[in-house]
Every structure is written in structure tokens, then in C-alpha cells.
């Protein structure tokens, strides 16, 4: 998942940031959620368990109780 928005120093330019990654394990049929740090390195998101329901993880990104995805 990538966030795109106008660049704060020049709103006519757009910038993109990696914000969330969903990984699927076909053997276990489980989705796992990862977040990107400021260096664009991926880390396992600790505040929700992997799930067989992709929508659960998508809702967690939308809810973003830690502010890690949407700031």
C-alpha cells in the first residue's frame, strides 16, 4: 500500500511513501501485516495477529490506533 500526496514544499509535485504491506502464506492461508519505517524497511506490525481474513488487517490499517500508517 502506497500513500500519495502533494509535496509540502511544492504542492504541484506529488510524493509517494510506502506505508503497509500484506503478505500471504499460501500454506497456512494466513495474511500478515507489515509497516515501513522511515528508511523504507519492513517490520512486522505488532498490534494485530496474522489473520485468515484480509479485511481484518485492512481495517487495522484504516483504524491505525498507533499512528504508524497514517501518522
Structural domains in the chain (count): 1
The string of pLDDT tens digits covering residues 4-47 is: 888 889 999 998 877 899 999 999 999 999 999 989 899 999 99
Domain annotation covers residue 9: no
| Residues near 35 by beta carbon (within 8 Å), at least 6 away in sequence | 19, 20, 21, 42, 43, 45, 68, 69
Q: Assess whether pLDDT exceeds 80 at residue 3.
A: no
pLDDT range class, residue 71, cuts 50, 70, 90: confident
d(CA 25, CA 6): 35
43 part of a folded domain: yes
Whole-structure pTM value: 0.81
Q: Which domain holds residue 26?
A: 18-63
Residue 1: pLDDT above 80?
no
The yes-or-no verdict on residue 2 having pLDDT over 80 is no
Amino acid at each position: 500500500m502506497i500513500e500519495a500526496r502533494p509535496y509540502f514544499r511544492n504542492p504541484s509535485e506529488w510524493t509517494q511513501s510506502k506505508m503497509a504491506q500484506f503478505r500471504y502464506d499460501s500454506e497456512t492461508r494466513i495474511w500478515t501485516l507489515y509497516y515501513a519505517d522511515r528508511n523504507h524497511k519492513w517490520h512486522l506490525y505488532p498490534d494485530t495477529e496474522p489473520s485468515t481474513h484480509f479485511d481484518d488487517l485492512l481495517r487495522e490499517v484504516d483504524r491505525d490506533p498507533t499512528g504508524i500508517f497514517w501518522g
